């Protein structure tokens, strides 16, 4: 059994009963999160890019839980200088961990880490294709639409259909709902979960309207999740 829990924005936890894998763990300062960072346990933390609403509490949680941060090489180096355990990767690369396989995918966005008035180079932003407990989950990260999303199914999963696509729909900084429908068609997942919307007024979107668009335009099931919600990926 693989449980997916949503903590608001782009913050998710995958839990198979043995391993807990966090993605983009932004709790502190996240107006949508019902949970505090010190309530979270994890063995691995995946970070798509360096912006504060995604890198978030990764370093503090990693140090407290003795967890490993999996991210691009530049952010991995940054986190290691702060005392965290890391595993650096880059786009196109994959690696087998004890919980499953992770592949870094393209994302069209930025990745700088802000410290005071300093902007620190954060390498290339990415998404993650995660294979865990026999299921495949694509966390797109912060990205605009790009046609190579279609290759995630065609090349990387081959005969297996993508189980869950976690797609941003907030617009302005990331894809909006219309572009996310194209992404859904190209990715061909069994479930699509919208994320990165309604955290702030600038990202306001109608989740029910997006769900209707998904069901009218594809054979995927749209799973709307409120912060704190969980569902079992069957």
User: Average model confidence (pLDDT) for the chain?
Assistant: 96
Tokens 């998404």 belong to residue: 127
Segment 160-184 shows an average pLDDT of 97
Task: Supply the pTM of this predicted model.
Answer: 0.97
Q: How confident is the model at residue 160 (pLDDT cuts 50, 70, 90)?
A: confident
Phi-psi region of 190 (alpha: psi -120 to 50; beta: other; left: phi over 0): alpha
Q: Mean pLDDT throughout 19-37?
A: 97
Confidence grade of residue 155 (pLDDT, cut at 50, 70, 90): confident
Give CA–CA dist 73/15, Å, rounded. 25
The encoded tokens of residue 48 equal: 């798509």
User: Residue 157 pLDDT > 90, yes or no?
Assistant: no
Q: Are 163 and 190 in contact (CB under 8 A)?
A: yes
Per-residue pLDDT of 125-142, as tens digits, reads 999 999 999 999 999 999
Structure tokens at 102: 């992770």
Percentage with pLDDT > 90 across the chain: 95
pLDDT band at residue 159, thresholds of 50, 70 and 90? low
Using the CB atoms, write b or e for 69-99: b if 16+ within 10 Å.
Answer: bbbbebbbebbeeeebbbebbeeeeeeebeb
User: Which domains are seen in the chain, by residue range?
Assistant: 2-228 (3.60.15.10)
pLDDT of 60-83, one tens digit each?
A: 999 999 999 999 999 999 999 999
The pLDDT of 160-173, averaged and rounded, is 96
- Is the pLDDT score of 34 beyond 70? yes
Residue 158 has pLDDT above 80, yes or no: no
Share of the chain above pLDDT 70, in %: 99
Mean pLDDT, rounded, for 85-91: 98
């Amino acid at each position: 059994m693989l449980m997916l829990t949503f903590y608001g924005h782009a913050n998710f936890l995958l839990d198979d009963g043995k391993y807990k894998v966090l993605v983009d763990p932004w709790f502190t300062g996240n107006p949508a999160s019902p949970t505090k960072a010190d309530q979270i346990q994890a063995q691995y933390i995946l970070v798509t890019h360096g912006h504060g609403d995604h890198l978030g509490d990764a370093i503090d949680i990693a140090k407290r839980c003795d967890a490993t941060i999996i991210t691009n090489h530049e952010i991995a180096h940054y986190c290691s200088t702060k005392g965290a355990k890391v595993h650096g990767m880059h786009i196109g690369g994959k690696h087998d961990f004890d919980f499953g396989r992770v592949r870094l995918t393209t994302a069209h966005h930025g990745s700088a880490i802000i410290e005071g008035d300093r902007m620190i180079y954060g390498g290339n932003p990415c998404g993650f294709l995660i294979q865990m407990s026999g299921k495949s989950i694509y966390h797109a990260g912060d990205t605009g639409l790009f046609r190579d999303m279609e290759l995630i199914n065609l090349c990387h999963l081959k005969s297996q259909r993508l189980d869950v696509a976690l797609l941003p729909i907030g617009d302005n900084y990331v894809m909006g709902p219309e572009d996310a429908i194209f992404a859904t068609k190209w990715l061909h997942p069994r479930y699509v979960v919208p994320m990165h919307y309604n955290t702030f007024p600038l990202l306001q979107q109608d989740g029910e309207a997006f769900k209707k668009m998904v069901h009218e335009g594809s054979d995927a099931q749209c799973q709307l999740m409120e912060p704190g919600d969980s569902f079992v990926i069957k």
